[in-house]
């Protein structure tokens, strides 16, 4: 089958369209004919050689797809049908014509969403729902700071937090993105981190109280400033390391606030954990997507053969929302 092969660790130029053996659906798995695949920062890190797939999983890039069910392995109990349009959360293998995935990580499309746009939903929906609501327990009336609001995760986090009745502060790297995040996605405050201090902005917006929850994709570079931005009993959710993995922290600031720093990843979780998360997405996120309260944010699509250009575009930082590959 057609798939994107990685010829080595490095820049986008190491990606090439090639042929590889087609997967076979094992026990409890479904086989999906892929229509579109989402591109994520984790794919970039894996391509660079910094984020290897868990042992025993596909070496191919791609953590989310949309498509149609082509076959069932033994012992699939979920009520899917052949040809049904679905999305899937993957451990890898999405940049390919077919993928085999545990049925618990597969969901039927939300009502009213086309099969290509849907490819940008599973990874961001699962990441945001599991972190903001399952772990951080974000509540109506609380304030959440979402870093990287113009990315796929950020755009989903803003919308889900607003739908839950939270107040949302977000950061972005240009005035144009800042304007979009407030006018289109409904953020209460958007801060251009290149020209303004987000710590001061958070304190001003909250009358000095700070943010109850912070969703952070930056990591080390923002650690001390994030803790400074937290409210008493605040929860800092670190889900990315775009700004490095090692930082010093004055723990006194954390103790004084009785706050928590929680680091999570989605990819390495067990099938059972991912099934619970995806069931939560189906029950709590999909109705919001179907009603239009949460919009899939697709910036641009590229044919699979143009994967190099797609990765270059993602890394340029120009995008707002998701970048997809289509087959």
**CA 136 to CA 262: how far, in whole Å?**
9
pTM of the model: 0.96
Residues of the chain with confidence (pLDDT) below 50? none
Q: What is the DSSP string of 177-217?
A: HHHHHHHTS--SEEEETTTS-HHHHHHHHTTT--EEEEEES
CA distance 172 to 39: 19
Which class for 225: exposed (0-12), middle (13-18), buried (19 or more C-beta within 10 A)?
middle
The CA distances from residue 88 to 34, 65, 122, 326, in Å, are 10, 5, 6, 15
Structure confidence at residue 11 (pLDDT): 97
Q: What is the pLDDT of residue 156?
A: 97
pLDDT digits (tens, 9 = 90+) for 202-239: 999 999 999 999 999 999 999 999 999 999 999 999 99
Residue 68 has a pLDDT of: 98
Q: So what's the pLDDT on residue 58?
A: 95
Query: Which pLDDT does position 19 carry in this prediction?
Result: 97
Token digits of residue 270: 């067990």
Predicted local distance difference test score (pLDDT) of residue 27: 97
Q: How far apart are CA 271 and CA 105, in angstroms?
A: 8
Report pLDDT for 238: 98
Q: Determine the pLDDT at residue 117.
A: 97
**What's residue 71's pLDDT?**
98
What is the DSSP annotation of 110-124?
Answer: PTT--TTGGGGSHHH
Which domains, from first to last, does the chain contain? Answer: 2-121+269-326 (3.90.180.10), 125-263 (3.40.50.720)
Please give the pLDDT value at position 18: 97
């Amino acid at each position: 089958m057609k798939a994107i092969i990685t010829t080595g660790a490095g820049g986008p130029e190491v990606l090439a369209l090639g042929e590889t053996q087609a997967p076979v659906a094992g026990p409890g798995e479904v086989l999906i004919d892929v229509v579109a695949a989402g591109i994520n920062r984790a794919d970039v890190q894996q391509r660079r050689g910094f984020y290897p797939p868990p042992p025993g999983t596909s070496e191919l890039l791609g953590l989310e797809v949309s498509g149609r069910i082509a076959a069932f392995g033994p012992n699939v109990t979920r009520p899917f049908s052949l040809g049904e349009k679905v999305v899937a959360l993957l451990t890898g293998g999405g940049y390919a014509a077919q993928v085999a995935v545990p049925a618990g990580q597969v969901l039927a499309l939300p009502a009213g969403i086309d099969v290509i746009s849907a490819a940008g939903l599973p990874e961001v929906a699962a990441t945001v729902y599991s972190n903001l609501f399952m772990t951080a327990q974000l509540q109506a009336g609380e304030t959440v700071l979402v870093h990287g609001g113009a990315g796929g995760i950020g755009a989903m986090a803003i919308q889900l937090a607003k739908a839950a009745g939270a107040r949302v502060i977000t950061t972005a790297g240009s005035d144009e993105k800042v304007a979009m995040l407030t006018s289109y996605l409904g953020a209460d405050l958007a801060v251009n981190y290149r020209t303004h201090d987000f710590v001061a902005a958070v304190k001003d917006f909250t009358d000095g109280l700070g943010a109850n929850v912070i969703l952070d994709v930056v990591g080390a570079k923002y650690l001390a400033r994030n803790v400074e931005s937290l409210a008493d009993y605040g929860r800092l959710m670190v889900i990315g390391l775009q700004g490095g993995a090692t930082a010093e922290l004055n723990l006194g600031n954390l103790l004084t606030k009785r706050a928590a720093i929680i680091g999570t990843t989605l990819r390495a979780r067990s099938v059972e954990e991912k099934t619970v998360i995806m069931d939560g997405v189906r029950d709590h996120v999909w109705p919001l997507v179907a009603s239009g309260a949460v919009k899939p944010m697709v910036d641009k699509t590229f044919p699979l053969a143009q994967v190099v250009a797609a990765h270059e575009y993602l890394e340029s930082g120009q995008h707002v929302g998701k970048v997809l590959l289509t087959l």
